[in-house]
Amino acid sequence: MSIARVEARVQPARSGDPKRVGPYRIIGRLGSGGMGTVHAGLDPAGLRVAVKVIHSAYAADPEFRARFRREVQLSARVQGPCLIPLLAADPDAETPWLATAYAPGPTLDQHVAAHGALTGGTLYAFATGTAQALAAIHAAGVVHRDVKPQNVILTPAGPRVLDFGIAHAADGTSVTRTGVMTGTPGWISPEHYRTGTAGPEGDMFAWGTLVAYAATGRLPFGTGAPDVVAYRVMSGEPELDGLPDELREPLTKALAKSPAERISADAAAEECARLLAGQATQVLGTDAGPGPEGVGDCLTTEWSLPGVADPAWHLPAPAFRKRALITAVTTAVVAAAVTAGVITFHNSGHRGDADLTSEGTASSAPPSGRAAPLATSATTGSGKPADTTAPAADPRTIRIPTDPLAGVPDPAYTRAGEETQPHPDEWRSSTTADTPEERDAAKTIHDRMLSMLATKDMDFMRPTITFNQRAQTVLVTGGPVSQLPEDHQDVFRRAGEMAACSTLAHRLENDPTTWPYGRFSVHWKTSDGDLDAAALGFGEATDGCVAETAGQWHGDEFGMATAEIPSSDKAEIRVADATVKAILATWNANTAETNEDALTVNDGISLGFDPVESAAYIWTDDPNSRFASRASQSNLKGAVETAVCRKLTGEFNSDKSWSYTRWAVAVHEAYTGTRQFVGSGTCTP
């Protein structure tokens, strides 16, 4: 059930329905589906909202909650014309929920069934508005995945696209975890049928189908059995008879079989806006159409659909005020998106500060150190004053942020401390370096990674560096490489994380007001060019780039696994051989008077290098429990530190390109099969 797809009128509430959800008073139902129930609600100022409450069966699934939370956070960044904004959400409530603005009007399929296809300026306004909405969604690193007539509402002020981001989390319209293709036949792209790929190009294929349906009342690939429709989509040509000639070119580009040949949402919005302006000049009888800043006004002017009133939303108002009230509410909720480019609610700071408790009710007290917002005068649908005191805050609630990049030509990094995991769509929407600063950062990351990988004979794993400014993230991608050992992929991940982290940290330190990238993620591609899985690794440059505790570096199993991969670097091989001999000599000299057994090369002392964190790892088998006691472990640590630091600093003094300054030593107990780190540190050159 869509968050905003509704019947013609508000339905009565049923037994067991909540009276309040968060700060919203529930007055009825808008609909119900497999994932949840959508309620009609009013905020403290009397503005109408749609509140989706997830069914309890899904609320008990931790994996669903995690997916739901990620999608809420991602969708909160999507703002733009012809979209319905996410107002608030609490994925950690006992019953998770989210709220959006309410958009009055029928869905496109309902309108076509009742009144037929769209025509004239209304059709061009529909094509323009829906393309603008997808452009905003794609710019935020989101892929809609479910563009179809049921997900577009025809409001009195223009079309509104529903369910961006949320559709994938709550209603799964791509390949499910069991590998079953879901979605509506006729609205699935050719590549989605073939491989399950769902990117921005797939949205544009669906957009072409959507506009063709709006213009003709027919699906361009027909109807029938799902496999028959799928065959037509993958192999047949679309039926576009009845489509205005001017729209044929952008729709033909959108319906191309190859994703690479399709028109982008930005280009489609620009081309359709030009056609819309042409319609306006014909009506006005002028030679020049409106400029880019006038497209919103032009869309509103050319849009010609009747308004929708639903008296169930509010109590009867005096006759002389009723018409003005409907107009005011519709304008506040919907029309502002066209002229301002984004729908917002600012009722005493309500949009950003509608703080919600994890139980889904308004909290009664503000957190310590924060004063409760003051009440302001407002009017409800009944004409009576409304209580607009904002609920107090609860730190567990996800706030819905404004777009950190809105209107900022050279934005600084603004997502510090955000723990949102990278979304595959951020990778799919990323682009190659564009500015000189981006190109320099990409080269630095690339070169640093190759330097690390080359020491293990892995420089065939050449990384690709891309940027997603909307997500403020640099993405490092490798692959595809057939039959790649798992430990090699892990080395690639660690090298990517280290190179990206150090490069971005340096940039943030030197250009804090103009450098927008502070997050990074590392990915691996499959043979078909899509992601192998979720990000291999991700992080934030402000977290630091080396695992240190109180200034002390510590070795770990990841570094040990990398060190165990044989080196192909001649200098490393030479230093490793000399260092092992020095460790043996130091141990035997220090223990000669304690009657401890002497060590030889045959005792299994090994040394390898981890180029990711510039560390030498030393490990030894201990079949006779020689190093079981703390005293013997301390002696081993002392012998290693003395010999290793002497060799590492000596190499650095003769070769300034030598980067290894850290060391760690571990003992492998043969009987238990466990490995214990007994010491680590950093040498001072």
pLDDT, averaged in runs of 10, over the chain (685 residues): 49 90 91 84 82 89 83 77 87 90 88 93 94 90 87 89 55 35 72 83 94 95 86 90 93 94 95 86 48 55 68 44 35 34 29 28 29 28 34 40 40 72 79 91 94 88 90 89 77 91 89 87 81 79 59 81 89 92 82 55 76 90 70 84 91 89 85 79 85
Question: What's the rounded Cα separation, in Å, for the pair 43 and 380?
Answer: 9
Question: What's the rounded Cα separation, in Å, for the pair 470 and 426?
Answer: 9
Beta bridge mates, 181: 175
Question: What's the rounded Cα separation, in Å, for the pair 445 and 436?
Answer: 14
Q: What angle do CA 203, 426, 438 make, to 5 degrees?
A: 125
Distance in angstroms between the alpha carbons of the first and the last residue of the chain: 64
Q: Within 511-565, where are the H helices?
A: 557-563
**How crowded is residue 528: how many other Cβ atoms within 10 Å of its Cβ?**
11
Contacts of 429 (CB under 8 A, 6+ apart): 138, 139, 141, 142, 143, 200, 468, 470, 471
pLDDT value of residue 295: 52
> DSSP letter at 331?
I
Cβ-based burial of 483 (10 A; exposed 0-12, middle 13-18, buried ≥19)? exposed
Amino acid at 157: A
Query: Is the separation of the CB atoms in 525 and 478 below 8 Å?
Result: yes
pLDDT value of residue 30: 86
3-state secondary structure (DSSP) of residue 372: coil
Cis upstream peptide for 367 (omega within 30°): no
Query: Is the separation of the CB atoms in 589 and 647 below 8 Å?
Result: no
pLDDT value of residue 400: 42
Does 146 qualify as catalytic in the annotation?
yes
User: Choosing from 43, 146, 163, 203, which is the catalytic residue?
Assistant: 146
pLDDT value of residue 313: 59
Question: What's the rounded Cα separation, in Å, for the pair 198 and 175?
Answer: 9
Question: What's the rounded Cα separation, in Å, for the pair 142 and 644?
Answer: 50
pLDDT value of residue 282: 59
pLDDT value of residue 277: 87
pLDDT value of residue 71: 74
448 membership: H or E segment, kind and range: helix 436-454
Question: What's the rounded Cα separation, in Å, for the pair 538 and 639?
Answer: 37
